[in-house]
Amino acid sequence: MASNAWVALAIVLATLLGTHAADPDITSDFIVPDGVAPDADFFTFKGLKQALRGAPRDAPFKVTKASQGEFPALMGQSVSYAALQFAPGGVNAPHTHPRSAELLLVVQGWLEVGLVDSNNTLFTQVLRTGDLFVFPKGLVHFQANKDPRYPAVALSAFGSANAGTVSLPKTLFGSGIDKDVLAKSFKTDAQTIDKLVSAATMG
């Protein structure tokens, strides 16, 4: 099946990305949490299966992570994954990953993606199934499924077991930054900031 070939390619790419990662080097083959006796199951993660089956349920966008929090065998291995599911019209809001670049592979449908560099230059691209795009570490980026009828699915590989995600809407408007500071920063009024804060803190 073609989709299996894309998944296999993504695994190879994640492995290559991990060879130049920023996580601290470890002095053992792998790290085992206290009280865990490693067997083959310790090195296996089955949590992405459902995420590869199309649109998310009851949400315009869903991310399913396979990082060290969900998959402890990744600790010290400088690699992780995420499956991104987009309903028709779904958006992964502008965000950054402070500890890793992201290598995104579209496995179903198509996406419009973009990043903004430190010179405030916007780079956008339309990606089809099988296309790859790299988001450099720490830069603001987004993904959007602009197809009004069909879902899209992508796999993201990271060169860190814990790449971190900083969502700009939630960070700016959902973290409790003084509303007067936000209003002055965005050259707008308090009512507009109230609407943005309300939207960022919903659900």
- Residue 97 marked ligand-binding: yes
pLDDT in tens, 42-78: 999 999 998 888 889 889 999 999 999 999 999 999 9
Least confident of 15-19, 20-24, 120-124: 15-19
What residues does CATH 2.60.120.10 cover in the chain?
2-164
pLDDT in tens, 101-156: 999 999 999 999 999 999 999 999 999 999 999 999 999 999 999 999 999 999 99
> Domain 2-164, what fold?
Jelly Rolls (2.60.120)
| Reported confidence tier of residue 27, pLDDT bands at 50, 70, 90 | confident
DSSP-derived secondary structure letter, 19: T
* Predicted model pTM: 0.84
pLDDT in tens, 155-180: 999 999 999 999 999 999 999 999 99
Share of the chain above pLDDT 90, in %: 73
Pick the closest to residue 158 from 95, 91, 94, 83 (CA basis).
83
- Residue 20 marked ligand-binding: no
First vs last C-alpha separation in the chain? 38
| Sequence-distant (≥ 6) Cβ neighbours of residue 52 within 8 angstroms | 3, 7, 83, 107, 108, 153
